[in-house]
C-alpha cells in the first residue's frame, strides 16, 4: 500500500476517533431517573439500555481504531490479522479500522454466533 494511502487512512481513523469521543459525552443518558409512573420507569430503563449499548459499541470501535492506528505505525495496516492477505481497498474505505479481510471476518462472525448459541443452550 502506498504511503499516501496509508496517511489518508490515518487521517480518516483519527477523524472518526475524534467524532466518537465528541459524541460520547452523552453518558448522562444512562443516569437512573426514578418515576412514580410504571410505564415511564419502563420507558426510561429502555432508553438507558439503548444508551449503554451505544456507549459499548463506541468503546469497541475506539479500541479497533486504536489497533488500526498501531498497525499503521507498525507497518502492518491493510493486512488481515488471520490469513495475512491484503484487505481489499474497498473494505478499508468502508471500514478503515478493519483488521480482517471479508472472508476471515465472516468466519469469525459465524464462530462468535455459534459460541453464543452454545452459551445460551448451556445456561
Question: What value does the mean pLDDT of the chain take?
Answer: 88
Per-residue model confidence (pLDDT) at position 88: 95
Give the sign of the dihedral formed by CA 11, CA 13, CA 19, CA 24. negative
Which residue ranges form the domains of the chain, and what is each CATH number?
Answer: 3-122 (1.20.120.910)
pLDDT digits (tens, 9 = 90+) for 1-44: 888 999 999 999 999 999 998 886 655 555 566 667 778 778 87
Chain mean position to CA 82? 18
pLDDT digits (tens, 9 = 90+) for 62-75: 999 999 999 999 99
With bands split at pLDDT 50, 70 and 90, how would you rate the model's confidence at 104? very high
Amino acid at each position: 500500500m502506498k504511503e499516501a494511502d496509508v496517511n489518508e487512512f490515518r487521517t480518516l481513523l483519527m477523524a472518526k476517533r475524534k467524532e466518537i469521543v465528541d459524541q460520547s459525552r452523552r453518558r448522562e443518558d444512562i443516569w437512573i431517573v426514578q418515576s412514580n409512573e410504571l410505564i415511564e420507569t419502563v420507558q426510561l430503563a429502555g432508553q438507558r439500555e439503548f444508551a449503554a449499548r451505544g456507549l459499548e459499541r463506541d468503546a469497541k470501535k475506539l479500541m479497533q481504531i486504536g489497533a488500526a492506528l498501531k498497525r499503521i505505525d507498525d507497518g502492518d495496516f491493510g493486512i488481515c490479522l488471520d490469513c495475512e492477505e491484503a484487505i481489499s481497498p474497498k473494505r478499508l474505505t468502508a471500514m478503515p479500522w478493519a483488521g480482517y479481510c471479508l472472508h476471515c471476518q465472516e468466519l469469525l462472525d459465524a464462530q462468535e454466533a455459534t459460541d453464543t448459541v452454545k452459551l445460551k443452550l448451556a445456561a
